[in-house]
Amino acid sequence: EPEVTQTPSHQVTQMGQEVILRCVPISNHLYFYWYRQILGQKVEFLVSFYNNEISEKSEIFDDQFSVERPDGSNFTLKIRSTKLEDSAMYFCASSPSQGWETQYFGPGTRLLVL
């Protein structure tokens, strides 16, 4: 069964450093998303991406965040200058061509900012 993959599974970084989280969505999907979950809290939407551009972003997704689809398979989330409060689990998700269809989540990247 096709699945969303994410790398790395864990990342530890120093405050102020840049991190890039990588995702490979399911191959025939066209809508891509990033969510995050701070430990003990709910899953929160960050950004959606369609047709090579951001379609919606949350208040969390400020100028320190960016997304990119550099080739036909990868979808990346970059945090330019990490803060302590960026420590969270980051989930990538994708869905098929129709915007209302189910989103499938990757296993997540656990980011720890020290």
Partner 1 sequence: RKEVEQDPGPFNVPEGATVAFNCTYSNSASQSFFWYRQDCRKEPKLLMSVYSSGNEDGRFTAQLNRASQYISLLIRDSKLSDSATYLCVVTSSGGYNKLIFGAGTRLAVHP
Binding site for partner 1 (CB under 8 A): 31, 33, 35, 41-45, 48, 50, 55-56, 89, 91, 93, 95, 99-108, 110
Nearer to partner 1, 14 or 62 (CB): 62
- Cβ atoms 22, 32 nearer than 8 A: no
- CA neighbor of 104 nearest in space, from 96, 94, 113: 94
- Please give the Cα distance from 114 to 104 (Å, whole number): 30
CB of residue 45 to partner 1, shortest distance in Å = 5
CB of residue 61 to partner 1, shortest distance in Å = 11
Nearer to partner 1, 22 or 110 (CB): 110
The helix (H) or strand (E) run that includes residue 64 is: none
- Cβ atoms 104, 6 nearer than 8 A: no
CB of residue 36 to partner 1, shortest distance in Å = 11
CB of residue 71 to partner 1, shortest distance in Å = 22
60 φψ region: left (φ > 0), alpha (ψ -120 to 50), beta (else)? alpha
Nearer to partner 1, 12 or 15 (CB): 12
Nearer to partner 1, 7 or 103 (CB): 103
- Cβ atoms 102, 14 nearer than 8 A: no
